Structure 1
Amino acid sequence: MPEHAVANWRFVAARVERGWHTQEDFAAAYDNKARELREQARISVRQVRRWESGESTWPNRDARRVLEAMCDCHLEDLGFVRPARPTGRRADGPGRQLEECDVRRRTFMGLVGMAPVLDLEALDHLTVAARSAWRYGDRELLGHLRSTLDEAARTDGLIGPHEALPTVLGILAAINSAARTADDEIRRELLALGSCGAELAAWLHRDAGAPAQAVAYWHHQAKEWATVTGDGAMHAYVLLRQAQATERTEAARMLDLARAATTGPWTLPPRPRAEAFQQQARALALTGACVEEVARALDRAHAALGQAAPAAGQATCTGPLGDGYTDERLMVQSAICYREAGQSNRAVDLFRQHLATGAFAPRDRAFFTAQYSGALVAAGEPDEAANAALESLALAAGARFGQALAELHRTADDLASHARRPAVREFRQRLGELTVA
């Protein structure tokens, strides 16, 4: 891969995080800001591409003013290098380093509300993942990006989306850049890997609390690359993931997407097919279907999972689709379905049986335990619900597991009538303190 294809990853990350998902989006936004500031300078997509090329030069005065106003940060934080000026002091002295650190921290604190937030350490992860790509040959590059994407997915499961997302964005930028010049065979493999990465990026954005349009953008990109590479199963899998990302208040859409994953012109492998049937069961419960219909959908999920070959080693993001979908995961998700269907005691029994295993990463355990706490409230066990919620909160707070925290807020609302109980009061207080922080 030619060295000139390496991108200015800080600029790419800042652009995507602010909602300008394409270079065309950024160029249009730049022109609008330039008119607002009454600057004469306009830019083309070609100029954006030059800024992202990895050979970024210091923009002229007008462009600097527009860029800083658009991104609300210093140009150095967008990957631009200030021209060296002869002085009597070393540019890399302690004072300079402290100043740069302070500037960057202020910059990224300013992104709160535009989650996910990229901090200094996260940007380092992104840089390592992406800038080294040019050192590899095409086949080596694929292996490097694949292993880095798998590691990012493991990072998410352990310590949350904010730590994993910068690396994933860097990988996707590297894939997009490398695919422009790769031969057909390598390009197809790059885009197939990109489809997995884009689906992961959609999940990470959702769990980090990003706007719905950011999640939708990455789902669309994942389906586009799956379609280009002729991977119908991946296209169906993204439909399933879209169903899982759909809010409870849009149960009909959730059901449509989950059904499309199993009925379209494609064949899902047994494990993700089982997951799609389980998602249909949850959607049916949310639409008010009878519990027998929910149970029949879960029976189809168990039947599909029974057709799966034994998993070969540890499941990875880039391995066989849905390879991490196990009996234990299906059982706790069945508990969620029964909770949604109003069968709280049945849900509690399933959670108690299957959450006791060590089968789940911290992110999943936090989410499933939060769901368990909600089922306990509905089953008339507020004190046990509060204790389960505190257990989930201990896992979710530091890593900011967004879906778990959202479920905990739901539990807190359900516990409002029991607010004077000590365990409930402690849980609601800790959750409130985390929200304020």
Structure 2
Amino acid sequence: MRDALASWHMGRVIYAYRSHPYHGQTLSQELVSGWLGLTQPQLSRLENGRAPEELSKLIRYSDVLGIPADLLWFDRPGETRQPAGGTEDEAAAPPSSPPIKIVKTYGSAPQEDGPDDRLDERNQKVDGRRQETSDEPTANELAARLLPEATIEELSRLSASLRDAYRFLDSDVVASVARQLDRCKSDDGKTGPAQVLPTVLAILELVSQQVRDVRAEVRRQLLTVGADSAEFAGWLYRDLHDPASAAHWYDRAMEWAQAAQELPMQGYILLRKSQMAYGDRDAARVLVLAQAAGSGPWQLPTHVKAEVLQQEARGLAMTGEPIGLAERKLGEARTLLRDAVADSVAPLGPSYDEGTWLLRSATCYIEAGKPQLAAQLYAEALARGTLARRDEGYYRARRAVACALAGDPDDASHEGLAALEVADTTSSQRTRREVRRVVRILTPWQRHRGPRELRLAVQAYG
């Protein structure tokens, strides 16, 4: 493991982990790829190809495998690496025992055990449906990771539920996890995806591991929180520009929503998939998924119906339909949004409001070849000052695109630089991708001061 970690190649680390003698036999690629949200061929390419460099993936894989932060060649959010104590020679010396925590595997997901040179003989293989339990400190650590702002009572209940889900994982524990998920959603808009992703992945790990063992009357509640968490994870990976991971979690969200018989959530996930297809520039998929979201056997909240109609308008604009048809859908969406009552806002799509309608309408006009009108709508929405910091950065980048397409290099450069500054603090790869698009559009003006400064800034940010 030490040699693999020293190579700075996550694929080699995963292979060393799979083949570690502690497991008794080499773990199959099929098993481990499932933990990592990959297919078996993807894991094979990861282990045998060039070293992956995308930070979001490195964070995710190291988190799943339980690699201590001090052994990594990159920083995980909230876990700054600490150099070894003592002299430089002492720090450079290899440790006397393997430093990584090896995972003992039973069931479909990994659980932490002790280091391989200090196996805890108290761990027992238990029969049938119960997974192997961890010792109390490990359960307490995971509970604190899941609920960092919880009370002592909440942590105690969660810790007990991790050791024995059937007896202790009840509705109160599920409610605590749901509240933590809401906090993650709130923090995401301020700090960006990298800060909240580890906690969200911990929630998903909890659901995956415990859903088989909880009592029947709690299972549906846990699956509902799991579907909500997986949908949110899909969004986080979209913002990190990791479409493969986003698609994986959207699929898992749909599976759990179906198992929980949560029909509205299924329609909402189709809407989210349509929105992801927009980022992939897949016009037909944008339209088809939006129409499916609006016509399924579910009753969506009124404001979500409005969002679906607006997404359909975007698909119509992308596929070259007459602008009048798209504008009719936009008008229907706005009427529905104004009719939406306050109690319909939760729990799906709570952020969709008049400002969001303006921003998404601007996108439609970009697709319809009317960038000047799009730039005006973006400016109107941004002037309200109601957007979360991450969203402000992204939509400034989108306005920069509109200005560039409209032949206004100065405004495009100004907005692009502002967006890039925000992206640096929120780690939004979506925003950086849009700013790079602005630079390409501004190629005819590359000798002008503004476009030149923007190009240099993009190169500096990498």
Query: TM-score by structure 2 length?
Result: 0.68
CA distance in 2: counterparts of 1:411 and 1:200, whole angstroms: 28
Are the counterparts in 2 of residues 126 and 167 from structure 1 also a CA contact under 8 Å? no
Aligned to 2:327: 295
Write out aligned runs for 1:170-209 (5 A).
170-209=202-241
Shift of 1:418: 0.7
Identity, % of aligned pairs?
32
The reply on whether 1:224 has 2:255 as its aligned counterpart is yes
| CA-atom RMSD in angstroms | 3.9
Aligned to 1:415: 442
Are the counterparts in 2 of residues 125 and 167 from structure 1 also a CA contact under 8 Å? no
Higher relative contact order (CA 8 A, sep 6+): 1
Q: Give SS of 1:94's match.
A: coil
Are the counterparts in 1 of residues 171 and 221 from structure 2 also a CA contact under 8 Å? no
Are the counterparts in 2 of residues 168 and 201 from structure 1 also a CA contact under 8 Å? yes
Write out aligned runs for 1:69-80 (5 A).
78-79=65-66
Deviation per CA, 1:298-327, whole angstroms, max 9, x where unpaired?
A: 112112212310268xx7xxx421122111
Write out aligned runs for 1:20-419 (5 A).
34=19, 41-43=25-27, 78-79=65-66, 94-95=85-86, 128-129=145-146, 132=155, 133-135=158-160, 137=168, 138-210=170-242, 212-246=243-277, 247-310=279-342, 319-419=346-446
Q: Give SS of 1:355's match.
A: helix
CA distance in 1: counterparts of 2:63 and 2:146, whole angstroms: 20
Are the counterparts in 1 of residues 19 and 27 from structure 2 also a CA contact under 8 Å? no
Shift of 1:192: 0.3
CA distance in 1: counterparts of 2:24 and 2:178, whole angstroms: 44
Distance 1:290 1:173, change over 3 A: same
Q: Give SS of 2:274's match.
A: helix
Deviation per CA, 1:392-417, whole angstroms, max 9, x where unpaired?
A: 11111222212111111111111111
Shift of 1:78: 4.0
Amino acid at match of 2:146: A
Shift of 1:428: 1.2
Deviation per CA, 1:363-419, whole angstroms, max 9, x where unpaired?
A: 111111111111111222110111011111111122221211111111111111111
Amino acid at match of 1:41: Q
Gaps of 5+ in 1: 1-16, 19-25, 53-67, 82-91, 108-123
CA distance in 2: counterparts of 1:76 and 1:371, whole angstroms: 33
Count how many residue pairs are aligned between Structure 1 and Structure 2.
353
Are the counterparts in 1 of residues 207 and 223 from structure 2 also a CA contact under 8 Å? yes
Shift of 1:77: 9.7
Q: Give SS of 2:386's match.
A: coil
Amino acid at match of 2:269: V
Shift of 1:263: 0.8
CA distance in 2: counterparts of 1:248 and 1:213, whole angstroms: 11
Are the counterparts in 2 of residues 261 and 268 from structure 1 also a CA contact under 8 Å? no
Distance 1:129 1:99, change over 3 A: farther
Distance 1:363 1:69, change over 3 A: same
Are the counterparts in 2 of residues 130 and 174 from structure 1 also a CA contact under 8 Å? no
CA distance in 1: counterparts of 2:87 and 2:308, whole angstroms: 54
Query: TM-score by structure 1 length?
Result: 0.71
